[in-house]
Amino acid sequence: MTYTSTGSPGSIGGATRSYMGSDDGMKTLATLLLLLIPSLVLAEDPLPSWNEGPAKQSIIDFVEKVTDKNSDSYVPIYDRVAVFDNDGTLWCEAPLPMQVYYVLAELKIKVAQDPTLAEKPMVKAALAGDFEKLLQGTHYDGLVEIIGLTHAGMTTTEYDAAVKAWVKTFRHPRFDRTLAGMTYQPMQELLRYLRANDFQTFIVSGGGADFMRVFAYRIYGIPTNQIVGTNTLTKFELVDGKPVLMKTMEHMFVDDKAGKPVGIHQFIGRRPIAAFGNSDGDQQMLEYTTIDNPYPSFGLLVHHTDAKRAYAYDSHPPSSGKLVTALEAAPKYGWTVVSMKDDWKTIFFGSE
């Protein structure tokens, strides 16, 4: 659809004038004008931080295909569900995932309040950066102990306040940027582009749901109820007559690997048509989204190939973001692989 803005209004004016005599006419005119406005907006490049190439083109082709009402590939708005991993997909997870920085900062505060904590072997290991030790054993008991110390035993209000306070002080050790500044500009554009095309965007992450919810609306425009993450139960009580939710470590659900499709079913309740990840932990989410889906579907992997502007890793990542089997599966299932080095003009949000 094209629209010439400099000409006389004659091309639609005749019809317009005859519409204006009734309420229905008013509504029709308003609808017509609204149809014109998006076409003006969409004429701009929706993904300006993406270099031209097959990755960018595959995104645009998919979005245009599923939003074209005259196409067999049209997907109703209700079913335009897009799911995004967070760590390594929407923001940087190197040298450590952001939530680990929170855990370490919080542990230091706890130890200052109660120095006996520092004698616990797992606290010692965490503060010394010996993460291998935390991950020993079949049930990751060390990691669970540390998460319990920093993510449970307080009210949800206290937890939110602690995360908020930390967000204000956080700066990335290498880039000296804030949390929001460590999100990827091209992915922020992708979130906006999908929403402009009536997609609902969800985070589906192995990170803590309560952690992400503190800031995700502000930095991604994603509301708390569109965030699926690792979670545990709270306990409801009236304390001095006031409602309180205490965070516990009970009933833990780990939203990673085969847990991601499970979390999607549990929290979203319908199958996505687009999934975005960066590691083997996202493979099952991409499989669930793209294999045997009655709708057209789209899978994308962000490949960390840019050591200069960010980090380069796949099989030996600085964190949990190993990308081996999913990368092998990509050609088989037609998943787009994005090379950060080649496909992205800019890496970090607002860094142009």
**Which residues of the shown chain bind a copy of itself in the complex (CB under 8 A)?**
5, 8-9, 13, 16-17, 20-23, 26-27, 29-30, 33-34, 36-37, 40, 78, 156, 200, 202, 209-210, 213, 217, 223-227, 231, 233-238, 241-243, 245, 251, 253, 258-262, 265-270, 284, 287-288, 291-292
Minimum distance between the CB of residue 91 and a copy of itself, rounded to whole angstroms? 19
Whichever of 257 and 341 has its CB closer to a copy of itself, that residue is: 257
Minimum distance between the CB of residue 22 and a copy of itself, rounded to whole angstroms? 7
Q: Compute the distance between CA of residue 291 and CA of residue 333 in angstroms, rounded to an integer.
A: 7
Place of tokens 């080095």: 341
Minimum distance between the CB of residue 113 and a copy of itself, rounded to whole angstroms? 26
Whichever of 16 and 178 has its CB closer to a copy of itself, that residue is: 16
Q: Compute the distance between CA of residue 231 and CA of residue 136 in angstroms, rounded to an integer.
A: 21
Secondary structure element (H or E) that encloses residue 265, with its range:
helix 259-267
Whichever of 89 and 201 has its CB closer to a copy of itself, that residue is: 201
Q: Where are the beta strands (DSSP E) in the chain?
A: 81-84, 200-208, 227-230, 234-239, 242-247, 274-277, 298-305, 312-313, 336-339
Closest CA to 211 of 302, 91, 299: 91
Minimum distance between the CB of residue 40 and a copy of itself, rounded to whole angstroms? 6
Whichever of 27 and 164 has its CB closer to a copy of itself, that residue is: 27
Whichever of 173 and 241 has its CB closer to a copy of itself, that residue is: 241
Strands 242-247 and 274-277, how do they pair? unpaired
Q: Compute the distance between CA of residue 288 and CA of residue 282 in angstroms, rounded to an integer.
A: 10
Whichever of 79 and 130 has its CB closer to a copy of itself, that residue is: 79
97 C-beta neighbours (distance < 10 Å), count: 22
Strands 227-230 and 336-339, how do they pair? unpaired
Closest CA to 243 of 230, 255, 251, 234: 234
The number of residues in the chain equals 352
Whichever of 2 and 236 has its CB closer to a copy of itself, that residue is: 236
DSSP 182: G
Minimum distance between the CB of residue 128 and a copy of itself, rounded to whole angstroms? 34
Secondary structure element (H or E) that encloses residue 79, with its range:
none
Minimum distance between the CB of residue 83 and a copy of itself, rounded to whole angstroms? 11
Whichever of 173 and 294 has its CB closer to a copy of itself, that residue is: 294
Helix axes 259-267, 283-290, angle to 10 degrees: 60
Minimum distance between the CB of residue 233 and a copy of itself, rounded to whole angstroms? 6
Residue type, 255: D
Minimum distance between the CB of residue 228 and a copy of itself, rounded to whole angstroms? 9
